[in-house]
Chains A and B, each alone.
Chain A
Amino acid sequence: GNSVTQMEGPVTLSEEAFLTINCTYTATGYPSLFWYVQYPGEGLQLLLKATKADDKGSNKGFEATYRKETTSFHLEKGSVQVSDSAVYFCALSLNTNAGKSTFGDGTTLTVKP
Chain B
Amino acid sequence: DAGVTQSPTHLIKTRGQQVTLRCSPKSGHDTVSWYQQALGQGPQFIFQYYEEEERQRGNFPDRFSGHQFPNYSSELNVNALLLGDSALYLCASSSQPTGVETQYFGPGTRLLVL
Residues of chain A at the chain B interface (Cβ within 8 Å): 4, 32, 34, 36, 42-46, 49, 51, 89, 91, 93, 95-106
Contacts and interface: CB of A to CB of B under 8 A. Distances in A.
Given A98-B97, A100-B48, A103-B43, A49 B33 contact: no
B21 interface: no
Contacts of B101: 98
Interface string B89-110: 0101010111111111111100
Nearest to B102: A46
A53 B75 CA distance: 36
Interface residues of B, number: 32
Interface of B: 4, 31-33, 35, 40-45, 48, 50, 55-56, 58, 90, 92, 94, 96-108
Nearest to B44: A103
B105 A95 contact: no
Contacts of A96: 98
Contact of B97 (A32, A97, A104): A97
A100 B98 CA distance: 9
Nearest to A36: B105
